[in-house]
Structure 1
Amino acid sequence: MTALPGAAKSETLGQTLAWAYEYSGLLEQNRALLRAADEDVAQAVAGLRPIINWTADITRDFGKARANNLINTNRDVTFSTGVTLELLLFDFGQTRFQIDAAKETVLATREALRSIEQQVLLRAVAAFYDVQRNRQFVSLRQNNLRLLRQELRAARDRFEVGEVTRTDVAQAEARVASTQGELAQAQGNLAQAIEEYIAVVGREPGTLQSPRQLPNLSGGIETSKNIAVRNHPDILEAQRRVAAADLTILAADAAMKPRFTAQGTLGISEELDTSDYGRSGSFGLNMRAPIYQGGLLSSAKRQAQAQRDAARGNLHVVRRAVVQDVGNAFAILQSARVVREASQEQVRAAQVAFRGVREEATLGARTTLDVLNAEQELLDARSTLISADVDVAIAAYQVLSAIGQLTAKDLNLNVQTYDPAAYYNLVKDAPVPLSRQGQQLDRVLKSLGRQ
C-alpha cells in the first residue's frame, strides 16, 4: 500500500486514536443504528397525532334492463373524493408507554455505541503498540545477526590459525542461519502488525512515539470496580433494556383496554354525465375494546414479561462480567509489571554474563558455543523486556476499557466527537418534511450521504 503524505512523521498514540475514531466503519454502522432507534421514538409520538387521509375514485356503472317492453340502459360515471380524520383521545396510556419504551431503547443504544467506541479505541491501542513491538524485534534481530556474522568471521579466523576446531565454525554458521530465519519471521510479524494498524487507523504507521505517562490507575481495584458498576456502558445499556421491557409490559396491558378516538369525514361526489353532485360529512366519537382475539393480546403480555425477566437476568450477567473484567485487567497489569521488572534485571545480568564470556573466550577459557549461548540469552532477555513494556502499556488501557473510561471524551482526543443527541433532538417530535425542523433534518441527512 502506498504511504499517505506525512506517514513518515512522528505519530503519538493520541493521534492514532483520533484517526481510528474518525476512520472506523464500525462506529459509523452503530451511529446509523442509533439514528434508527431515534426514529422509533418519532414513530411512537406519531400515534398521538391526528391521522388524515384522502381518497379519490371514479366509477362507471353500466347495465341494461327491460320493463314493460322498454329497454333501459345505464351508463353513469361518478367521481368522488374525500378526507378522513382520526384522532386518539384516550388509550389508557398504551401509546405513551410505547413512547417511553422507545426512549429507553434510544438511551440503551447510545450506551451500546459508547461500548463499541471503547472496542475501537482499544484495538487501536493494541495496533499502535504491536507495531512498536515488532519494529523493535526486527531491529533487535538485525543487530543480533550483525554480531553473529562478526562472531562467525572471528571463528573462521581463529580456525585458520588453529585456535578453534571446525566444530566451532559450524556452530557459528548454524546460529547465523537460525537468526536469519528468526529475522524473516520477525519481519513477517511486523508486516502483519502494519496491516492491522492500517485496518484500524486507515493509514500506514509513521514513527510512533509512546506517551510519556500511562493512564493514572492509582485508585485501586476496588475503587475501579465501583466506578465500572456505576459508569460502564454495558451495565448502563442493560439497565435501560430492563426499563424498556417494564414499559413494554404496561403497553401490552393497556392494549387489552378500550381505545377512544374521534373520527371525521368530508366528501364530495359528482355525476360526470349529468353534472349532479353531492356533499357529505360526519363527525363522531368511537370506543373500541377487544373481546376475543384468539389469545393474541394475553400472549403478547406474557411475551413482554418473559423479555423483561430475560433483561433482568442479562443485567446480573453483565454486572458480574464487568466486575470480573476489571479484576482480570488489574491482574494482567500487575503481572505485566512484575515481568517487566524481572526482565530489566534479566537484561542487566545477561549483559554482564555475555561480556564476561566473550572476554574469557578471547583468553581460551570459553568455547565459541559458550559465547553464542550467552549472546542468545541476552537476545531472549531483551526480547522479553520489549514485550513486557508493550504488555504493561496495553494492559493499562485494558483497565481503562474495563472501567468504562476509554472513550474519545475521557481521553480528550483532538477530534469532533459524535453527539448522539443531535439527531434525536431533530426527530423526537416527528417533524413533517414541510416544517422548518423537517427541512433542517433533510439537510442533516444529505450531509450524512443518505439522500
Structure 2
Amino acid sequence: MLRMPATHISIERPHRRIARRSLASALLLCAMGVAAEQPSAPLPSPLTLGQALALADEPHPELDVARADIDRARARVQEQESRQGTRAYLDLIPEWVNPSTGGGGTNDSRARILLSKQLTDFGRTRSLESAAEDEVAGRELAFLDARQRRRLEIMARFFDTLLADLRYAVDNEEMAHRYVNYDKVRERHALGQVSEVELLDYENRYRESLITRTESQKRQSSARLRLAHALNRPDQLPGELIAPKLTVLDREIPDYKALSEDARKVNPVVAAQRKDTDAARATLNAERARSRPTLNAELEAAEYERTLSGRNDFRAGLSLRVPLYQGGEVDAAVARAAADLSVREARLRKVEHDLQQTVLDAVQELETLKVRREAAKQRVAFRDLYLDRARAIYEMEVQTSLGDAMVRLTEAQWLAAQADYQLALAWARIEALTGKLVEPSTQEKKP
C-alpha cells in the first residue's frame, strides 16, 4: 500500500475564565504601564519631598521587575485554567492507496474536526489553579513591598541630599573661620609679632578645613546623583531642595506588642511568603492527584473520499483514562513538591522571626531618636544664645570667638536636621512594616 504523508493542522481554543483579581491593583498596573511609555517630565525646581514621593510609582527598574513577576504569574493562571477548556482540532489527511484486493489506486483522503473537553481530572486542575492564583496574590504583595521600598529609598536619598547641603554649610563656615584666623596671624607675622611656626600652624589648620570643605562639596554632587537614580532621572540632577516641615515627629511611640501583632498580620513580605507557601501546598496536592483518572468528552465530524463500512461521519463519546503505572514519575514529582513546600515553610518562619526583630529594632530606634532629637533641639537653643552673647561681646570690641560660635550654631542645626530626618524615616519604616504606603500628604505640613 502506497501512502502519502499526512498533514495535521490543530487549532486550540482554551477556555477563558475571568480572573478574580483586585480591580484597584489592575487599574494601578495599567496606569503605571501607560506611564512607562511616556517620556519623563523634568524635575521641579526647587524640589519638595512631596513632589519627590509623587514620583515613586513612575517607571523604575525595581517596579518593572515586580510588575513582570505579576504578569508571569497571571499567565500561569490562564495556562492552568485552559486545561479544562474546549479544544478544537482540524485534521487534513491527503492519502492515495493501492488496496490489496486490487482494482488500482484510489483516493483515501479524509478530513475531520474533533472537539475535546476535559470534564474532570478529580481535583488536580483545581489544585494547579489554586497554586497559580496564590502565586499571583504573592506577587501582588511583593509589588506592594517594592512600592514601599521605592518610597523609603526616595525619602532617604532626599534627606541625605539635604544633610549634605547642611554639612557643606558647616564645613564652609569652618573653612571661612579658619581662613580669617590665618589671615590675622599672617598680618601679625608680617609685623614680627608671631613666629614662623605659629603661622604655619594656622595655615595648616586652614588647609585642612579647605580639604574638608572640598570633600563636602563632592558629597553634595554624589548625594544628588543618588537621589536622581532613586527618582529614575539619572540625567537630571536635582537643584535646590526645600526642607520639609514634617508632621510625624511628635507622634507617640507605639506599643511593641501591639505593633508586632499588627505587622505579623499585614506585613506584605510575610503575607507574600504565606501565599507562596499556600501555592507550594496546592502544588503538592496537584502532584499527588497525578494518579487520578481523567474524564474527557469528545465530538468528531468527518468527511471521507472513500466509503467504507466501518467509517462514521459523526461520533460522540466519553473517555476515561486511568493511570495504571507511571514508572515512578508521580513519586518523584510528589517528593519534589514536598521538598519545595518544606523550603517555603522554613522561609515563612524565618521572615516572621526577622519581622519580629525588625519591629523591636524599629520601636527602640524611635525611642533613641526621640531622645536624640530633644538633645539636638537643646543644642541649637544653646548655640543660638551663645552666638548672641558672642555678638554682644564683639560689638563691645572685646576679643571673642564670634566665628567659632557661628560654626558651632551651623553644626548644631545640621545635627538637629539629622535627628529630625532620621526620626521621620524611622516612622516611614514603621508604616511600611504595617503594610501602609508612605503618601506625600502624610509627610509634610501644609503651608
Structure 1 match to 2:145: 115
Q: In the alignment, what sits opposite 1:36? A: 72
Superposed CA deviations along residues 46-94 of structure 1, whole A, max 9, x for unmatched, are 222222111213234579x9x9xxxx89555553221112222222111
C-alpha contact 1:326 1:403 (8 A) present in aligned 2: no
Pair 138,77 (structure 1): closer, same or farther in 2 beyond 3 Å: farther
**Mind listing any 5+ residue stretches in structure 1 that lack a counterpart?**
414-451
Q: CA RMSD in A?
A: 3.5
Q: Cα offset for 1:197?
A: 0.9
- Work out whether residues 379 and 412 of structure 2, in 8 Å CA contact, stay in contact via their aligned partners in 1: yes
SS at match of 1:37: helix
Q: Distance in 1 between matches of 2:361 and 2:332?
A: 43
Kindly indicate whether residue 115 of structure 2 is the aligned counterpart of residue 85 of structure 1: yes
User: In the alignment, does 2:331 pair up with 1:258?
Assistant: no
Q: Specify the code of the residue in structure 1 equivalent to 2:52.
A: T
1:124-139 to 2 correspondences below 5 Å: 124-139=154-169
Q: Residue 224 of structure 1 aligns with which residue?
A: 259
Partner of residue 211, structure 1: 245
Shift of 1:254: 2.1
Select 1:281's aligned residue among 311, 314, 325.
314
Distance in 1 (CA, whole Å) between partners of 2:355 and 2:320 is 50
Classify 1:411/1:58 alpha carbon distance in 2 versus 1 (closer, same or farther; 3 Å): farther
| Pairing partner for 1:97 from 127, 141, 144 | 127
Q: Higher strand proportion, which one?
A: 1
Match of 1:219, SS state, is coil
Q: 2:423 aligns with which of 392, 395, 402?
A: 392
Q: TM-score, normalised by structure 1?
A: 0.76
Structure 2: unaligned runs, 5 residues or longer: 1-39
Partner of 2:313, secondary structure, is: strand
Q: Where does 1:44-193 land on structure 2 (aligned, <5 Å)?
A: 44-61=80-97, 76=106, 78-193=108-223
TM-score (norm 2): 0.77
Match of 2:230 in 1: 200
Distance 1:411-1:270 versus aligned 2 partners, 3 A rule: farther
Does structure 1 residue 8 correspond to structure 2 residue 45?
A: yes
8 Å CA contact 1:128, 1:197 repeated in 2: yes
Amino acid at match of 1:188: K
| Structure 1: distance between partners of 2:44 and 2:69 | 33
Mapping 1:232-251, distance limit 5 Å: 232-251=267-286
Rounded Cα–Cα distance in structure 1 between residues aligned with 2:290 and 2:96: 42
Cα pair 1:175 1:372 within 8 Å, conserved: no
Q: Percent identity?
A: 21
State the 1:195 CA deviation: 0.8
Aligned residue for 2:334?
301
Deviation at 1:19, TM superposition (A): 0.9
Maintained 8 Å contact 1:84/1:265: yes
Hey, what does 2:363 align to over in structure 1? 330
Larger RCO (alpha carbons 8 Å, 6+ apart): 1
Deviation at 1:133, TM superposition (A): 0.7
2:134 maps to amino acid: E
Task: Tell me the secondary structure at the aligned position of residue 56 of structure 2.
Answer: helix
1:209 is paired with a residue of what secondary structure? coil
Amino acid at match of 2:337: A
SS in 1 for 2:437: coil
Task: State whether structure 2 residue 68 is matched by structure 1 residue 24.
Answer: no
> Is this contact kept in 1: 2:173–2:406, CA < 8 A?
no
Residues 379-418 of structure 1 mapped to structure 2, 5 A cutoff: 383-407=414-438
Report what 2:346 is aligned to: 313
CA contact (8 A) 1:144 1:379 kept: no
Q: How many residues align?
A: 394
